[in-house]
Amino acid sequence: MDDFIPATESEKEYMVQMRPSTTFFKDGVKRLSKNKVASISFFVIIFITLAAIFVPMFWPYGYEQMLGTTPGRPADSSFNNLHPMEYSSTELQLMEQGEKVFPHLFGTDSQGRDYFIRVVYGTRISLAVGFFASIIVLVIGIVVGSISGYAGGVVDIILMRIVDIIYSLPDMLMVILLASVLRQTLDAALVGTPLEKIGSNIISLFIVFALLYWVSMARLIRGQILSLREQEYVLAAQTAGAKGSWIVKKHLIPNCISVIVISTALQIPSAIFTESYLSFLGLGVNAPMPSLGSLASDALNGLSSYPYRLVIPAIVISLIVLSLNLFGDGLRDAFDPKLNG
Amino acid sequence: MSDSTTMDQAKQPIISVKHLKQYFDINDGFFKSRPLKAVDDISFDINEGETLGLVGESGCGKTTAGRSLLHLYKPTAGEIYYRGKLIKTKADIAEFRKKATMVFQDPYSSLDPRMTVADIIGEPLDVHHMYSSKEERREKILTLMEHVGLNSEHAARYAHEFSGGQRQRVGIARSLAVDPDFIVCDEPVSALDVSIQAQVINMFDELQNKMNLTYLFIAHDLLVVRHISDRIAVMYLGHMVELGKAEDVYSRPLHPYTRALISAVPVPDPKVAKANKRIALTGEIPSPLDAPSGCPFRTRCKYATEQCAAEVPEFKEVETGRFCACHRLAEITD
């Protein structure tokens, strides 16, 4: 007769199963970590970034340091054009005397500068340009896109026609024209400001990015916001008396954050590529500051004797762009399953 | 408080709608647009503490009426009074938002998927800065959750972790957050299971008694409306065709459309159901873009005459507290 007895408190508790609350973000990270290609790409990016930040701190050679040139002494040309792991005659003498000399992993260039540290510095510049340019694009894109999408009407029409006009310009031509014009005007304007050190070229690159590449981001965000603002929770916020800026900030942007993150991740490699391309054409960073593109461009002069000087920066660019693209794809798969296809 | 002031307060309606019109422009060509008359000249009062049921078929303008009543759309014409005060300027509307809220039909799309339940319920409090400290905010949210039968453990969860009924409770808690007098319930139970519908409707009843709320209850389920409403208004094609006490409208519908509507309500007794004659309407509800002239119902009305095509019938008081818009009311009432 013991078949029907009331459940004890502990048994009742067992029936109430409370799954730990997972957020959208945690779910996405879980999916992302299961994607092998994206995880490997992520570690490659992290490794390259950390190397670009920390290696120059302890490397004994500077990126602009001409090793054969010491003030007050005649130039020592034995440092120029060393092959990878080769030592100059001066260094060999020092080593015979029992002193330790740090090897030149990638050799030196025609002016006796350590090539490895130049590649690391070039990577640093390229990553920085890619990252900051994407942030500029992101900020302008979000502001224009959300105003256009939420306000609608005449505002939307005007902003979108501006976007169409910029979109229809041949962008490489515009980039080259703007970069060369801006460099000249900026050169004069920057004298004496703290920005002078960064160089007018990088600043003009940022401006070019800001002027040209926000359009696709703005379009994307406008489209997202157009569809999200018809949701009833937006109406609910309006019923509560929320203003437009509140609704955009609290509801619309958080709900398209995955799209924003993904397209920013995919924007970085394209910015890096454009920077390299411009530097290769001589419109990029100011000498002696290296970037991956300008290193490749300089290497063209001695291509038959020193092919590795072109190959190394080319491999680094490819590695960065490829792993960022693969990681961006992984992000998209993990955070926005709808975009798949 | 003297008797006379109580009388006055009871007499003054909490919401008064006068000749409300809500047209939407539909783009027809490049520069052409024509109006879609979603709500066309409706007038009614809602008394303090009552529930006014608003019924009609899909697309008749019930939801639009509820939304433009709350100034969620800018009304094309007409006035809305709250406790005798015309709501017109931005400041009026902002003040009105603290007194009149809304419960939405779809418990899925009306809750932001990126917000926790506590933040959803607390949003109106945040918008109106209705607390002085984080603890006060939390306290208020937990009280609201208790009112609608949610656990405090639910506060940190996301809406997608809940069932439809629980989500609708979250929506109701949100509408109660600002301590309103008046709530527009826009088909709040039509997306729920029947058993859950009963729970939620009973909760609406309890909350009304506890917090002295006034409802405009929009629905297409006539039995639900009959259960909860004190008075019922019937809409057809953007017009209000009948308004009266719930029992009167059910037992003695006046307007031909209401008669057909009431006769279509299923009766859970087969003998009674057989004895009742179902009034079958022919044809479809006309498009509000291309509404018939005169009486909106004339294309489907068996009593229609030439007068019905020529003039729009006036929505007038035919008995005390009973309104109807029909030219031939006298002839067709037996």
Question: How do residues B17-50 score in pLDDT, each as one tens digit?
Answer: 999 999 988 877 667 778 888 898 899 999 999 9
Q: Which residue has the tokens 């359009």?
A: A215
Percent of chain B residues topping a pLDDT of 90 = 38
Report pTM.
Answer: 0.78
Percent of chain B residues topping a pLDDT of 70 = 96
Contact B97 A232 (CB under 8 A): no
Q: Which residue of A has its CA nearest to B127?
A: A242
By the CB < 8 Å criterion, does A24 face chain B?
yes
Domain topology for B3-99+180-332: Rossmann fold (3.40.50)
Nearest to B148 by CA among B169, B125, B171: B169
Is the reported ipTM for this assembly greater than 0.90?
no
Query: Could you say which of A19, A24, A238 has the minimum Cβ distance to residue B114?
Result: A24
Q: Is the pLDDT of residue B108 over 50?
A: yes
pLDDT tens per residue across all 341 residues of chain A: 567 777 777 776 666 655 555 666 777 788 888 889 999 999 999 999 999 999 888 888 877 777 777 777 777 777 777 777 777 777 788 888 877 778 788 878 877 788 888 889 889 888 888 888 889 899 999 999 999 999 888 999 999 999 999 888 887 788 788 877 887 787 777 777 766 666 777 777 778 878 888 898 999 999 999 988 888 899 999 988 888 889 998 899 888 888 888 888 888 888 888 888 888 887 777 767 788 888 888 888 888 888 888 899 899 999 999 999 999 888 888 876 555 44
Nearest to A187 by CA among A208, A202, A177, A209: A202
Q: Which residue of B has its CA nearest to A232?
A: B110
Local structure of residue A229 (DSSP, 8 states): T
The confidence band for B168, taking pLDDT boundaries of 50, 70 and 90, is very high
Domain topology for A25-59+117-339: MetI-like fold (1.10.3720)
Nearest to A240 by CA among B49, B71, B142: B71
Distance CA B51, CA B184 (A): 10
Question: How do residues B203-231 score in pLDDT, each as one tens digit?
Answer: 999 999 999 999 999 988 888 888 899 99
The confidence band for B261, taking pLDDT boundaries of 50, 70 and 90, is confident
What residues does CATH 1.10.3720.10 cover in chain A? 25-59+117-339
Query: Could you say which of A19, A21, A232 has the minimum Cβ distance to residue B106?
Result: A232
Contact A235 B72 (CB under 8 A): yes
Query: Could you say which of A241, A250, A251 has the minimum Cβ distance to residue B128?
Result: A241
Question: How do residues B2-20 score in pLDDT, each as one tens digit?
Answer: 444 444 445 678 999 999 9
Asked if residues B181 and B170 have their Cβ atoms less than 8 Å apart, the reply is: no
Mutate to test the interface with A, among B99, B114, B121, B179 (most CBs of A within 10 A): B114
